[in-house]
Amino acid sequence: MTLLDLSAHFSRFLRAAPGRCHLAAHSHHFWPDVAFDAQQTCWNDAARLADRKWQTVLGEVMPTVRQGIASHLGLPEPATIVFAPNTHELLLRVLSCLPTDRPTRILTSDGEFHSFVRQIARLEEDGLVAVERVPCLPLPSFASRFVERARAFRGDLVFISQVFFDSGAISLDPQTLVNAVADRDTFIVVDGYHGYLARPTALSGVAGRVFYLAGGYKYAMAGEGACFMHCPASYGARPRNTGWYASFGALSATRGDTVDFATDGWRFAGATFDPCGLYRMRAVLAWLTALDLDAAQIHAHARALGNHLLLRIEPHGLPGLTRDCLVTPMSDRERGNFLAFSHPRSEENERRLLGADIIVDRRGDRLRLGFGCYHTLAAIDAAADAIVAALR
C-alpha cells in the first residue's frame, strides 16, 4: 500500500514539541490544524451570538457532526446519535434504564476499560448488580467463549469492547454478538472507543439492536468533550438519569407527573455542555471528507507502520519489545491500531522511553505503542532509532 503523509496537516502539534516522539496514538491523538481554526470559530460564535449561539450549536454544528459519524459507522439514521462530555455519562444513562427491583444482571469481559470496571465494581459492592466476566485470555478463543456465554445468558445488559484497550485484540463481530443474545429485551452495549475511526465499522445491520459508545479524544482526533452514543430506537425510552436536554423534540407534552422524552437519541441527553469539542469534531470530519479518508485507510496505514517499527527494532533484541512479547500477534489480522507488549520489564522500558521524550504508555505489564494517520514512515524510522538508543 501507499502510506499516508499527512504531516503538513498537523503542523501545529508537530511544531509545538519538535523533539517529541509520540507513540501514544491509541490515547491522545494529535489534532489536525483545522481543529485549531474550529476552536477559534467556537469562541467567535460565542462572542458574536452570545445566548443565541445555541441555535448554531444545536441547529448547525451538531446535525453536521451527527451526519458525519453516521456516515463513518454506516448508521441509517443520524438522529439516533446523542452527545455527552464523556462516555461514562452515557453509560450511566443506559444503566438507569435497567430494572431496580432486583440486582441488574450483566455479562461482560475482564478486559474492559477502567471507567466501566470501576463503576460496575462499585455497584457490585452494594449488591445492585450481578456480573459475569468472561476472561479475555486466551485471546484466540475469546470470541467463541463469549458467544457461548451470551447464548446462555438471561439478563439485562451485555457490555463488550469492540477493541480491547490493553491488548489491541478484537472482541467479536457485532452481528455475531447480536445473534448470540437470545433475549430481545437484553440491552447490548459496544464500547467502540478503540474502534471508531481506527477500524472499518459497519453498524447498519445491528443499528436497531446495539448501543455504540465512542468519542473524539482518541482516533477521531477532535479532543475531549465530544463523546457520543448511537441509541437503538426500541431500547431505553425513559432513562432515570436524565437532563433537561432530553425533552428536546418530545412529541407529547408532560402529563401530570410524567416526564416527557424525545423519541430519538436526544432521550439520552444530559444538560448544558461546552460545545467546543463538537466544533473541532465537525472540522475534523469535514477534513476527512475533503481528503476522502476513512477508517479502512487509517487502519491499513497504522498496521503498516506498526509492522515497520517492529521490523526495525526487533533485530536489536530489546527485552520486552520483541515479537514474542506481543499480546496480540502481528499475524492476527483482527487487531487495533497499536501494539501491546507484555513483559516484566515494561515499567522500566516505559520510564526510560519517557525519559528520552518517547511518549508511550503502560497498563500493568503491558507497554502500548500506537500509530495514527499523522505518523509518516520517516517518523517511524526516527522513532525506531530513538527507541533503540534509549533501551540498548
Same domain, 262 and 135: yes
Distance, CA of 367 to CA of 72 (rounded, Å):
30
| Predicted local distance difference test score (pLDDT) of residue 331 | 79
Instruction: Say if 134 falls within a structural domain.
Output: yes
- DSSP state letter for 3: P
Distance, CA of 338 to CA of 309 (rounded, Å):
11
Instruction: Say if 313 falls within a structural domain.
Output: yes
| Predicted local distance difference test score (pLDDT) of residue 11 | 98
Cell of 44: 467567535
Same domain, 20 and 132: no
Q: What is the pTM of this model?
A: 0.96
Q: Which residue, 273, 288, 303, sits at the end of a domain?
A: 288
**Torsion, Cα of 14, 372, 196, 292 (10° steps):** 80
Q: Which residue, 268, 288, 308, sits at the end of a domain?
A: 288
- Please state, as a whole number, how many other Cβ atoms lie within 10 Å of the Cβ of residue 196: 24
* Amino acid letter, 341: F
Q: Which residues contact 1 (CB under 8 A, 6 or more apart)?
A: 300, 301, 304
Same domain, 305 and 175: no
Same domain, 18 and 158: no
- Please state, as a whole number, how many other Cβ atoms lie within 10 Å of the Cβ of residue 87: 22
- CATH number at 329 reads 3.90.1150.10
Reported as type and span, the H/E element at residue 62 is helix 62-73
Distance, CA of 369 to CA of 353 (rounded, Å):
11
| Predicted local distance difference test score (pLDDT) of residue 33 | 98
Range(s) of the domain holding residue 116 = 39-288
| Predicted local distance difference test score (pLDDT) of residue 258 | 87
Q: Which residue, 253, 288, 323, sits at the end of a domain?
A: 288
Instruction: Say if 2 falls within a structural domain.
Output: no
Same domain, 266 and 117: yes
Same domain, 283 and 361: no
Distance, CA of 224 to CA of 230 (rounded, Å):
18
Tell me how far CA of residue 123 lies from CA of 96, 128, 158, 207, 240, in angstroms: 12, 5, 16, 28, 16
Nearest to 156 by CA among 192, 108, 111, 114: 108
| Predicted local distance difference test score (pLDDT) of residue 252 | 46
- CATH number at 134 reads 3.40.640.10
| Predicted local distance difference test score (pLDDT) of residue 1 | 62
Q: Which residues contact 114 (CB under 8 A, 6 or more apart)?
A: none
Per-residue pLDDT of the chain (392 residues; tens, 9 = 90+): 679 999 999 999 999 999 999 999 999 999 999 999 999 999 999 999 999 999 999 999 999 999 999 999 999 999 999 999 999 999 999 999 999 999 999 999 999 999 999 999 999 999 999 999 999 999 999 999 999 999 999 999 999 999 999 999 999 999 999 999 999 999 999 999 999 999 999 999 999 999 999 999 999 999 999 999 999 999 999 999 999 999 986 654 555 678 999 999 999 999 999 999 999 999 999 999 999 999 999 999 999 999 999 999 999 999 999 999 999 988 777 889 999 999 999 999 999 999 999 999 999 999 999 999 999 999 999 999 999 999 98
| Predicted local distance difference test score (pLDDT) of residue 254 | 53
**Counted domains in the chain:** 2
Q: What is the DSSP string of 341-372?
A: EE-TTHHHHHHHHHHTTEE-EEETTEEEEE--
Instruction: Say if 17 falls within a structural domain.
Output: yes
Distance, CA of 119 to CA of 321 (rounded, Å):
33
Instruction: Say if 247 falls within a structural domain.
Output: yes
Q: Are strands 366-370 and 361-363 parallel, antiparallel or unpaired?
A: antiparallel
Instruction: Say if 250 falls within a structural domain.
Output: yes
The angle formed by the CA atoms of residues 360, 69 and 14, to the nearest 5 degrees, is: 35
Tell me how far CA of residue 195 lies from CA of 164, 172, 179, 292, in angstroms: 9, 12, 20, 19
Instruction: Say if 196 falls within a structural domain.
Output: yes
